[in-house]
Amino acid sequence: METQELNTHLKFNKKFGQLIEIGEDTAKVRLETTEDMAVDEEGLVHGGFTFGAADFCAMATVNHPYVVLVRSQCEFMAPVKVGDVVEFESETIMKEKRKHEIKVVGTINEIKVFEGIFGCVILDKHVLKRK
């Protein structure tokens, strides 16, 4: 994989997902789960942390400063618990002008725990900039 420089989500907090690799239409992100992510005494990690790391992986795959998420379709296939390390890998499955569809798969020890399709759009300027 040819390594590229990250051009988007530059302030994304590494404790919510660390970029491992980035290439042309692909990325890899690692989420190391912590006690702060737990929702109960059993150590179940809130799905929002899994989703957030997967979303970051999709954004890194598009790798444009003005990329935004417009839709997603996701499946949580197995629980994630405190201490798990989730590895996310993504690939572009459709690219049409400004529209991109990114498939992201999350695994723990090669067991699939998450799969999602992220619909992304590249805007002309930052989503929060007014006309």
Domains defined along the chain, listed by start: 14-122 (3.10.129.10)
Confidence of residue 83 (pLDDT cuts 50, 70, 90): very high
Burial of 2 (0-12, 13-18, 19+ CB in 10 A): exposed
DSSP single-letter state for residue 17: -
pLDDT tens digit string along 91-116? 999 999 999 999 999 999 999 999 99
Query: Among candidates 120, 14, 107, which has minimal Cα distance to 63?
Result: 120
Other beta carbons within 10 Å of 95: 13
pLDDT of amino acid 2: 56
pLDDT of amino acid 131: 65
Q: Decide: 90 and 103 in contact? Cβ < 8 Å.
A: yes
